[in-house]
Protein backbone atom coordinates (compact mmCIF):
# COMPACT_ATOMS: atom_id res chain seq x y z
CA UNK A 1 0.00 0.00 0.00
CA UNK A 2 1.48 3.35 -0.89
CA UNK A 3 2.45 5.83 1.77
CA UNK A 4 0.52 9.01 1.64
CA UNK A 5 1.76 12.35 2.64
CA UNK A 6 -0.47 15.33 3.26
CA UNK A 7 1.39 18.52 2.68
CA UNK A 8 -1.23 21.13 3.35
CA UNK A 9 -2.88 22.60 6.37
CA UNK A 10 -5.99 20.50 6.06
CA UNK A 11 -6.69 17.30 7.86
CA UNK A 12 -5.68 15.07 5.01
CA UNK A 13 -5.30 16.40 1.55
CA UNK A 14 -4.71 14.09 -1.35
CA UNK A 15 -1.11 15.09 -1.05
CA UNK A 16 1.60 13.16 -2.80
CA UNK A 17 1.70 9.40 -3.17
CA UNK A 18 4.85 7.62 -2.14
CA UNK A 19 5.57 4.07 -3.14
CA UNK A 20 8.18 3.66 -0.47
CA UNK A 21 10.15 6.18 1.53
CA UNK A 22 13.40 5.08 -0.06
CA UNK A 23 12.58 4.73 -3.74
CA UNK A 24 12.76 7.18 -6.61
CA UNK A 25 9.39 8.71 -5.80
CA UNK A 26 11.16 10.58 -3.01
CA UNK A 27 12.61 12.95 -5.53
CA UNK A 28 9.19 14.00 -6.67
CA UNK A 29 8.10 14.54 -3.11
CA UNK A 30 11.17 16.62 -2.36
CA UNK A 31 10.58 18.78 -5.37
CA UNK A 32 6.93 19.27 -4.58
CA UNK A 33 7.61 20.00 -0.94
CA UNK A 34 10.35 22.37 -1.92
CA UNK A 35 7.79 24.22 -3.95
CA UNK A 36 5.06 24.12 -1.36
CA UNK A 37 7.30 24.82 1.58
CA UNK A 38 10.53 26.72 1.17
CA UNK A 39 13.16 25.14 3.41
CA UNK A 40 12.96 27.97 5.91
CA UNK A 41 9.76 29.31 7.32
CA UNK A 42 9.37 32.01 9.93
CA UNK A 43 13.07 31.76 10.84
CA UNK A 44 13.28 28.03 11.43
CA UNK A 45 14.00 25.09 9.21
CA UNK A 46 11.00 22.97 8.26
CA UNK A 47 10.99 19.22 8.69
CA UNK A 48 11.93 17.25 5.58
CA UNK A 49 9.50 14.30 5.47
CA UNK A 50 11.35 12.47 2.71
CA UNK A 51 14.43 12.33 4.97
CA UNK A 52 12.66 10.73 7.94
CA UNK A 53 14.01 7.23 8.61
CA UNK A 54 11.18 4.91 9.57
CA UNK A 55 11.50 1.76 11.66
CA UNK A 56 9.99 -1.33 10.07
CA UNK A 57 6.89 -1.00 12.26
CA UNK A 58 5.87 2.22 10.50
CA UNK A 59 4.82 2.11 6.87
CA UNK A 60 3.08 5.45 6.36
CA UNK A 61 3.93 9.06 6.98
CA UNK A 62 1.70 12.10 6.97
CA UNK A 63 3.25 15.52 7.22
CA UNK A 64 1.14 18.59 7.98
CA UNK A 65 2.14 22.22 8.13
CA UNK A 66 -0.79 22.83 10.46
CA UNK A 67 -3.24 20.48 12.06
CA UNK A 68 -5.51 20.50 15.10
CA UNK A 69 -3.76 17.68 16.97
CA UNK A 70 -1.65 14.86 15.57
CA UNK A 71 -3.31 12.50 18.09
CA UNK A 72 -6.76 13.49 16.85
CA UNK A 73 -5.64 13.11 13.24
CA UNK A 74 -4.27 9.63 13.99
CA UNK A 75 -7.58 8.66 15.60
CA UNK A 76 -9.49 9.78 12.51
CA UNK A 77 -7.09 7.90 10.25
CA UNK A 78 -7.25 4.72 12.37
CA UNK A 79 -10.79 4.05 11.26
CA UNK A 80 -9.69 3.61 7.66
CA UNK A 81 -6.37 1.82 8.18
CA UNK A 82 -5.87 -1.92 8.68
CA UNK A 83 -4.30 -2.67 12.04
CA UNK A 84 -1.02 -3.86 10.54
CA UNK A 85 -0.32 -0.39 9.11
CA UNK A 86 1.84 1.70 11.39
CA UNK A 87 1.35 5.41 10.79
CA UNK A 88 3.43 8.46 11.69
CA UNK A 89 1.73 11.85 11.68
CA UNK A 90 4.00 14.82 12.17
CA UNK A 91 3.08 18.49 12.12
CA UNK A 92 4.93 21.78 12.25
CA UNK A 93 2.08 23.39 14.16
CA UNK A 94 -0.90 22.18 16.16
CA UNK A 95 -3.83 24.48 16.75
CA UNK A 96 -5.36 22.24 19.42
CA UNK A 97 -2.44 20.22 20.79
CA UNK A 98 -3.53 18.24 23.83
CA UNK A 99 -1.79 17.11 26.97
CA UNK A 100 -3.04 14.63 29.54
CA UNK A 101 -6.43 15.33 31.11
CA UNK A 102 -7.71 18.75 30.19
CA UNK A 103 -4.23 20.18 29.58
CA UNK A 104 -3.33 21.89 26.34
CA UNK A 105 0.04 21.45 24.65
CA UNK A 106 1.90 24.46 23.30
CA UNK A 107 3.53 23.56 19.97
CA UNK A 108 6.04 26.38 19.54
CA UNK A 109 7.45 26.94 16.06
CA UNK A 110 10.52 24.70 15.81
CA UNK A 111 9.33 22.17 18.37
CA UNK A 112 8.54 18.58 17.48
CA UNK A 113 4.99 17.21 17.62
CA UNK A 114 4.09 13.80 16.27
CA UNK A 115 1.90 10.78 16.82
CA UNK A 116 2.40 7.16 16.01
CA UNK A 117 -0.53 4.82 15.45
CA UNK A 118 0.61 1.28 16.15
CA UNK A 119 -0.41 -2.14 17.36
CA UNK A 120 1.33 -3.01 20.68
CA UNK A 121 0.80 -6.73 20.04
CA UNK A 122 3.12 -6.41 17.08
CA UNK A 123 5.88 -5.79 19.62
CA UNK A 124 4.63 -8.65 21.78
CA UNK A 125 3.44 -6.18 24.43
CA UNK A 126 0.84 -7.95 26.56
CA UNK A 127 -2.38 -6.05 27.29
CA UNK A 128 -1.54 -5.81 31.00
CA UNK A 129 1.72 -4.01 30.22
CA UNK A 130 0.31 -1.69 27.54
CA UNK A 131 0.06 0.99 30.24
CA UNK A 132 3.89 1.03 30.33
CA UNK A 133 4.09 2.42 26.79
CA UNK A 134 4.32 6.05 28.02
CA UNK A 135 7.29 5.10 30.21
CA UNK A 136 8.93 3.29 27.29
CA UNK A 137 8.47 6.42 25.18
CA UNK A 138 9.89 8.68 27.88
CA UNK A 139 12.95 6.40 28.14
CA UNK A 140 13.42 6.69 24.36
CA UNK A 141 13.40 10.49 24.62
CA UNK A 142 15.97 10.41 27.40
CA UNK A 143 18.16 8.04 25.34
CA UNK A 144 18.20 10.36 22.34
CA UNK A 145 18.49 13.65 24.19
CA UNK A 146 21.37 12.29 26.29
CA UNK A 147 23.34 11.69 23.07
CA UNK A 148 23.10 15.41 22.33
CA UNK A 149 23.15 16.73 25.86
CA UNK A 150 24.90 14.37 28.25
CA UNK A 151 24.22 15.01 31.90
CA UNK A 152 22.55 13.54 34.93
CA UNK A 153 19.84 16.21 35.13
CA UNK A 154 17.65 14.61 32.47
CA UNK A 155 15.14 12.03 33.59
CA UNK A 156 11.54 10.94 33.91
CA UNK A 157 8.68 12.16 36.00
CA UNK A 158 6.12 9.43 36.31
CA UNK A 159 3.95 8.73 34.45
CA UNK A 160 4.97 10.29 31.15
CA UNK A 161 7.14 13.38 31.33
CA UNK A 162 10.76 14.05 30.49
CA UNK A 163 12.39 16.75 32.57
CA UNK A 164 15.70 18.50 32.62
CA UNK A 165 16.12 19.50 36.23
CA UNK A 166 12.90 21.17 37.31
CA UNK A 167 11.64 21.96 33.80
CA UNK A 168 9.63 19.91 31.37
CA UNK A 169 11.26 19.05 28.04
CA UNK A 170 8.81 16.56 26.56
CA UNK A 171 5.43 15.02 27.21
CA UNK A 172 3.80 11.82 26.04
CA UNK A 173 0.08 11.28 25.50
CA UNK A 174 -0.87 7.66 24.82
CA UNK A 175 -4.48 6.91 23.92
CA UNK A 176 -5.90 3.44 23.40
CA UNK A 177 -8.38 2.48 20.71
CA UNK A 178 -11.12 -0.10 21.31
CA UNK A 179 -9.34 -2.58 19.04
CA UNK A 180 -6.16 -2.47 21.14
CA UNK A 181 -4.14 -0.19 18.89
CA UNK A 182 -2.53 2.80 20.52
CA UNK A 183 -1.88 6.37 19.51
CA UNK A 184 1.36 7.58 21.00
CA UNK A 185 1.70 11.35 20.81
CA UNK A 186 4.95 13.02 21.70
CA UNK A 187 5.80 16.68 22.01
CA UNK A 188 9.35 17.85 22.57
CA UNK A 189 10.81 21.34 22.79
CA UNK A 190 13.66 21.23 20.31
CA UNK A 191 14.35 24.40 18.28
CA UNK A 192 11.68 26.58 19.86
CA UNK A 193 13.33 29.11 22.13
CA UNK A 194 11.37 29.83 25.26
CA UNK A 195 11.43 33.52 24.50
CA UNK A 196 8.69 32.65 21.99
CA UNK A 197 6.53 30.86 24.58
CA UNK A 198 3.63 32.31 26.54
CA UNK A 199 4.84 33.35 30.03
CA UNK A 200 2.88 30.63 31.82
CA UNK A 201 4.65 28.05 29.61
CA UNK A 202 8.16 29.50 29.63
CA UNK A 203 8.14 29.45 33.44
CA UNK A 204 7.93 25.66 33.59
CA UNK A 205 9.45 24.22 30.41
CA UNK A 206 12.89 23.90 28.84
CA UNK A 207 13.94 23.71 25.21
CA UNK A 208 16.98 22.01 23.69
CA UNK A 209 17.94 25.08 21.67
CA UNK A 210 18.38 27.04 24.89
CA UNK A 211 20.29 24.20 26.59
CA UNK A 212 22.55 23.45 23.61
CA UNK A 213 22.99 27.02 22.46
CA UNK A 214 22.09 26.04 18.90
CA UNK A 215 19.61 24.28 16.68
CA UNK A 216 19.32 20.56 16.09
CA UNK A 217 18.42 19.00 12.75
CA UNK A 218 14.82 18.17 13.69
CA UNK A 219 14.38 15.64 10.87
CA UNK A 220 17.42 13.73 12.10
CA UNK A 221 16.28 14.11 15.72
CA UNK A 222 12.86 12.73 14.80
CA UNK A 223 14.47 9.76 13.04
CA UNK A 224 16.60 9.08 16.12
CA UNK A 225 13.50 9.29 18.32
CA UNK A 226 11.56 6.87 16.12
CA UNK A 227 14.41 4.39 16.21
CA UNK A 228 14.81 4.70 20.00
CA UNK A 229 11.05 4.38 20.43
CA UNK A 230 11.03 1.22 18.34
CA UNK A 231 13.87 -0.22 20.46
CA UNK A 232 12.12 0.73 23.70
CA UNK A 233 8.80 -0.83 22.62
CA UNK A 234 10.68 -3.95 21.52
CA UNK A 235 12.29 -4.09 24.98
CA UNK A 236 8.85 -3.72 26.59
CA UNK A 237 7.53 -6.61 24.52
CA UNK A 238 10.50 -8.82 25.36
CA UNK A 239 10.87 -8.05 29.05
CA UNK A 240 8.62 -5.47 30.69
CA UNK A 241 10.71 -5.47 33.86
CA UNK A 242 13.72 -4.09 31.96
CA UNK A 243 11.63 -1.05 31.06
CA UNK A 244 10.44 -0.72 34.66
CA UNK A 245 14.02 -0.88 35.96
CA UNK A 246 15.23 1.66 33.39
CA UNK A 247 12.39 4.01 34.29
CA UNK A 248 13.28 3.56 37.96
CA UNK A 249 16.91 4.44 37.29
CA UNK A 250 15.79 7.62 35.49
CA UNK A 251 13.13 8.60 38.03
CA UNK A 252 13.56 12.22 39.13
CA UNK A 253 10.90 12.08 41.84
CA UNK A 254 12.63 9.70 44.23
CA UNK A 255 12.55 10.87 47.85
CA UNK A 256 10.18 13.67 46.98
CA UNK A 257 6.78 14.10 48.55
CA UNK A 258 4.18 13.56 45.84
CA UNK A 259 0.49 14.27 45.78
CA UNK A 260 -1.47 12.13 43.31
CA UNK A 261 -5.14 12.19 42.42
CA UNK A 262 -6.33 8.63 41.85
CA UNK A 263 -10.00 8.69 40.93
CA UNK A 264 -11.74 10.25 43.93
CA UNK A 265 -8.79 9.62 46.19
CA UNK A 266 -5.84 11.90 46.86
CA UNK A 267 -2.70 9.96 47.79
CA UNK A 268 0.27 11.69 49.39
CA UNK A 269 3.55 9.97 50.06
CA UNK A 270 7.29 9.89 49.57
CA UNK A 271 8.33 8.49 46.21
CA UNK A 272 10.51 5.39 46.47
CA UNK A 273 10.82 4.88 42.70
CA UNK A 274 9.10 3.03 39.89
CA UNK A 275 8.26 -0.68 40.13
CA UNK A 276 9.21 -3.27 37.51
CA UNK A 277 5.66 -3.16 36.16
CA UNK A 278 5.69 0.62 35.81
CA UNK A 279 3.74 1.50 38.96
CA UNK A 280 4.70 4.52 41.03
CA UNK A 281 5.90 3.48 44.49
CA UNK A 282 4.95 5.71 47.42
CA UNK A 283 5.55 5.46 51.14
CA UNK A 284 2.36 6.88 52.62
CA UNK A 285 1.35 7.44 56.25
CA UNK A 286 -0.75 4.26 55.99
CA UNK A 287 2.01 2.16 54.41
CA UNK A 288 3.53 1.51 50.98
CA UNK A 289 1.32 2.06 47.94
CA UNK A 290 1.80 1.29 44.25
CA UNK A 291 -0.14 3.46 41.83
CA UNK A 292 -0.89 2.38 38.28
CA UNK A 293 -2.52 5.62 37.17
CA UNK A 294 -3.10 9.05 38.55
CA UNK A 295 -2.71 12.75 38.01
CA UNK A 296 0.18 14.47 39.69
CA UNK A 297 -0.98 17.41 41.79
CA UNK A 298 0.95 20.33 43.13
CA UNK A 299 1.91 19.94 46.80
How far apart CA 155 and CA 165 sit, in angstroms, is: 8
State the nearest-atom distance from the C-beta of 161 to ligand BTN, in Å. 6
Asked if residue 27 has a cis previous peptide bond (ω within 30° of 0), the answer is no
State the nearest-atom distance from the C-beta of 216 to ligand BTN, in Å. 17
233 within 8 A of 136, measured Cβ to Cβ: yes
How far apart CA 32 and CA 202 sit, in angstroms, is: 36
Measured between alpha carbons, how far is residue 234 from residues 41, 111, 242 in Å? 36, 26, 11
State the nearest-atom distance from the C-beta of 98 to ligand BTN, in Å. 4
Determine if 105 is a binding residue for ligand BTN (CB under 6 A): yes
**What binding mask, one character per residue, do residues 186-205 give for ligand BTN by CB under 6 A, x or -?**
xx------------------
87 within 8 A of 62, measured Cβ to Cβ: yes
Tell me which of 11, 13, 99, 217 binds ligand BTN, using CB under 6 A.
Answer: 99
3-state SS, residue 114? strand
Tell me which of 6, 29, 113, 260 binds ligand BTN, using CB under 6 A.
Answer: 113
Tell me which of 3, 57, 115, 253 binds ligand BTN, using CB under 6 A.
Answer: 115
State the nearest-atom distance from the C-beta of 241 to ligand BTN, in Å. 25
121 within 8 A of 180, measured Cβ to Cβ: yes
3-state SS, residue 151? coil
**Which residues, other chains included, contact 79 with Cβ-Cβ below 8 Å and sequence gap of 6+?**
none
For the CA atoms of the chain, what is the radius of gyration?
19
**What binding mask, one character per residue, do residues 257-296 give for ligand BTN by CB under 6 A, x or -?**
----------------------------------------
Q: Looking at 64-72, 191-199, 207-215, 264-272, which segment touches ligand BTN (CB under 6 A)?
A: 64-72
Interface residues with ligand BTN (CB under 6 A)?
69-71, 94, 97-100, 103, 105, 113-115, 161, 171-173, 185-187
Amino acid sequence: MPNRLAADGNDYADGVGLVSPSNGADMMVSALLGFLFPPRHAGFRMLEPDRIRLPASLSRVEYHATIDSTNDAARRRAAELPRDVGLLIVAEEQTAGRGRGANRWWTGAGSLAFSVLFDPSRYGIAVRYASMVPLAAAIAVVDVVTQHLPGPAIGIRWPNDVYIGERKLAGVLVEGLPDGRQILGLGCNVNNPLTSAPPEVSAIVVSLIDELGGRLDRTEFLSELLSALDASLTRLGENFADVGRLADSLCLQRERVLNVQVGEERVTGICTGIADDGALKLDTPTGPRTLYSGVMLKI
